[in-house]
Amino acid sequence: MSASLWLTDWNWAPSIILGLVLLCGVYFYGVGPLRRRFGWAPEIDTRQIALFLSGAFIIFIALASPLDEIGDHYLFSAHMVQHLLLTLVAPPLLLLGTPAWLLRPLTAWRLIAGVGRALTRPIAAFLLFNVVFGAYHVPALYDLALQNDTVHIFIHLLLMATASVAWMPILSPLEELPRLAYPAQILYLFFQAIPPTLLGALITFSEAALYPTYLNAPRIFGISAIEDQQIAGIIMWIPGSVVYLLALTIVFFQWFGREAGSGDERDVAME
């Protein structure tokens, strides 16, 4: 394919477009007509709308831009970028953009509330996402997804869903599904940085091409199959772990600021 097609070969598959339209449509129906009808909140914070739409836009770029075509048929490294966008960038933005009152009616359903509490406990959330993410990179399953659109769509949905669950102990908007305390958040994020480090290193230092699809793919940009695999491993290893460590740093300073504020209040009270 010519270089110009990398800028024009967008994926307008109905599953992507309709899925995003449905996601945004449900969101706007909830924060608009339903909010006013049931009096859930006097207004919606426009910053949350911007964050939610940013998350939806990231999903669109990951799945509809030429990144998808390159990742599916040519470069493992491009596919890795796509997966990081779907698991480490879009889910936090969607959670930050979702007000608690929009989700709270769901907790009135005992089954939903029970399942939510069970899945968002830190150990369960950690294992759920990392087992799915790790199992997906088993070569046989990975190549099956690349060859079968139905399986591929299902795995993308599963990755996004389990990634959202994995971020809930840090970013949950609901008191009913509470966030961890700051020290526990730091520990949780530290452990979340370990799986992409280990798996990324394993992929990077593998001497053989792990995925037949990419081994047999036409070479583009002068990158060999092994070089492509090494780049993909580094992308999972470094950016994949850095996102968690950046979140850890933010949580630490939030905790420090809260403790400093509490100390100032105690000092004032003692005067």
pLDDT of residue 6: 59
Identify residue 14 by its one-letter amino acid code: P
Q: Where are the domains of the chain?
A: 13-270
* Position with higher pLDDT, 3 vs 30: 30
Four-residue CA torsion sign, 120, 55, 243, 6? positive
User: Is the per-residue pLDDT at 5 higher than 60?
Assistant: no
* Position with higher pLDDT, 258 vs 159: 159
- The mean pLDDT of the chain is 92
Give all strands (DSSP E) within 98-197, no chain letters: none
Rounded (10°) angle between helices 66-73 and 46-64: 40
| Mean pLDDT on 47-55 | 98
Identify residue 197 by its one-letter amino acid code: T
Q: Which of 2-6, 89-93, 148-152, 255-259 has the lowest mean pLDDT?
A: 2-6
Rounded CA-CA distance 263/271 in Å is 13
pLDDT band at 269 (very low <50, low <70, confident <90, very high): very low
| Mean pLDDT on 101-117 | 93
| Mean pLDDT on 91-98 | 97
pLDDT of residue 267: 44
pLDDT of residue 103: 94
User: How confident is the model over 16-30, as pLDDT tens digits?
Assistant: 999 999 999 999 999
